[in-house]
Amino acid sequence: MLNKKIILEMNIQEILKKYPSLIEILKKHGMHCNECFFSEKVNLREALESSRLPTEEIIEEIIVYLEK
């Protein structure tokens, strides 16, 4: 089982390096993190909140996807 807190605290580049297929979920929600300079500086929680996206909903979607 994945730890939600760990996923939220990883920076975007770490997440995409470890789970490259997640870019599709992020893009679906309008986040083009692989193209953004700040993806090395901000964690997933900060990126979602600054984009005013439903953080909990997207994180749950990511966790469900990764647990398949």
CATH at residue 35: 1.10.3910
On whether the CB atoms of residues 23 and 16 are closer than 8 A, the answer is: yes
Nearest 10 degrees: CA dihedral of 45, 50, 54, 60? -20
What percent of the chain is predicted at pLDDT more than 90?
A: 19
Cβ proximity of 15 and 22 under 8 Å: yes
Q: Which pLDDT belongs to residue 57?
A: 93
Q: How many domains does one find in the chain? A: 1
Mind listing the pLDDT tens digit for each residue in 21-38?
A: 999 999 999 887 766 767
Rank 2-6, 21-25, 41-45 by mean pLDDT and report only the highest: 21-25
When pLDDT is averaged across residues 29-53 and rounded to a whole number, the result is 81
Confidence of residue 9 (pLDDT cuts 50, 70, 90): confident
- Please give the residue range of the domain that contains residue 51: 4-66
Q: Which residues neighbour 44 within 8 Å (Cβ) at sequence distance 6 or greater?
A: 7, 8, 9, 10, 11, 12, 15, 59
